[in-house]
């Protein structure tokens, strides 16, 4: 789209056409693998093994999903992931806001020093082994809290929220203080209600991060009853672990069954679709929150 008034020039029209074609090709290459996995998950073994582009399942069957939902480890992974996502996101948002709000105040003593220390952690960390030893010494090994507490506050996200709070007019808070409101009352009754876009944005960030995380579960969790869905998905799709594959797969001469590849496709969809369903409800806050939080302050 031309940014100048009047009729667009030939160069601008060529740029617009190239831009549309490039973004369309990029969208297709991004969406098609997801569509292919979705189609395979609903296909019979014969249809899934046919070569070519798959945009719609020819022989629709739900056998793969019946097999996936009959696997107890899928439900165990779901329960642990839901616990991690709900509790973890709530604690993440709460502590991020509680950290960002005072740092947004210019009258906070040593504010710049505290901010510099937090920013320092974005570039330097102890590494994998020190983190593991820390979790071990804290007694959090094989505990669900080892998946939540170490990443309670993301420095980058906290800076975004801090900048958003700094963009809010200070006159409203000053008038509330004159009326006798303390900082906690101002935060909960004035600041947070007008900060819904940034709160929704960071909630989505944290929720997606928790839902997709699996590596920390691989490191800190040894009990299969506490493993998260991402780790179950990894063991089924990548490792092919027999412990996590209690499925009825296709046998010679049987047509109403599924193959391991179809099981993997259905497992991927089961693990992916729930978090995708959350995004449309937060999308209207997402762009506004991230733009204001990153550019102001």
pLDDT recorded at residue 252? 42
User: Contact, 134 vs 176, CB < 8 A?
Assistant: no
pLDDT of 15-36, one tens digit each?
989 999 999 999 888 888 888 8
Report the predicted TM-score, pTM, of the whole model to 2 decimal places.
Answer: 0.79
More confident residue, 271 or 243: 271
User: Contact, 45 vs 257, CB < 8 A?
Assistant: yes
pLDDT recorded at residue 146? 92
- Asked if the model's pLDDT at residue 288 lies above 90, the reply is no
Taken in order of first residue, the domains within the chain and their CATH numbers are 62-297 (1.10.3720.10)
Percent of the chain with pLDDT over 70: 86
What sign has the CA pseudo-torsion 130, 136, 137, 143?
Answer: positive
pLDDT recorded at residue 86? 94
Tokens of 23: 């973004």
User: Contact, 87 vs 207, CB < 8 A?
Assistant: no
Tell me the CA end-to-end span of the chain in Å, nearest whole number.
Answer: 31
Mean pLDDT of the chain: 83
Mean per-residue pLDDT for 251-276?
A: 74
d(CA 211, CA 209): 6
pLDDT of 221-257, one tens digit each?
988 889 898 888 888 777 665 555 555 544 444 445 6
């Amino acid at each position: 789209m031309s940014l100048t008034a009047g009729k667009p020039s030939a160069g601008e029209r060529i740029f617009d056409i190239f831009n549309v074609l490039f973004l369309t090709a990029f969208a297709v290459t991004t969406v098609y693998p997801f569509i292919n996995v979705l189609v395979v998950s609903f296909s019979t073994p014969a249809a899934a093994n046919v070569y070519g582009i798959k945009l719609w399942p020819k022989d629709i069957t739900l056998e793969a999903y019946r097999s996936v939902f009959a696997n107890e480890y899928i439900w165990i992974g779901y329960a642990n992931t839901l616990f991690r996502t709900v509790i973890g996101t709530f604690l993440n948002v709460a502590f991020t806001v509680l950290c960002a709000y005072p740092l947004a105040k210019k009258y906070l003593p040593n504010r710049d020093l505290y901010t510099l220390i937090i920013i320092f952690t974005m570039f330097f960390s102890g590494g994998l082994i020190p983190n593991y030893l820390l979790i071990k010494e804290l007694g959090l090994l094989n505990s669900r809290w080892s998946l939540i507490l170490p990443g309670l506050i993301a420095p980058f996200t906290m800076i975004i929220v801090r900048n958003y709070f700094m963009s809010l007019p200070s006159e409203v808070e000053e008038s509330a203080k004159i009326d006798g409101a303390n900082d906690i009352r101002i935060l909960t009754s004035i600041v947070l209600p007008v900060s819904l876009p940034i709160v929704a944005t960071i909630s989505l960030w944290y929720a997606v991060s928790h839902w997709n995380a699996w590596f920390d579960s691989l490191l800190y969790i040894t009990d299969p009853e506490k493993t998260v869905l991402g780790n179950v998905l990894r063991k089924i799709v990548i490792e092919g672990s027999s412990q996590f594959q209690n499925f009825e797969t296709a046998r010679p001469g049987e047509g109403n069954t599924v193959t391991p590849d179809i099981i993997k496709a259905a497992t991927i969809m089961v693990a992916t679709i729930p978090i995708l369903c959350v995004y449309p409800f937060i999308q209207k806050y997402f762009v506004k929150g991230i733009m204001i939080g990153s550019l102001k302050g």
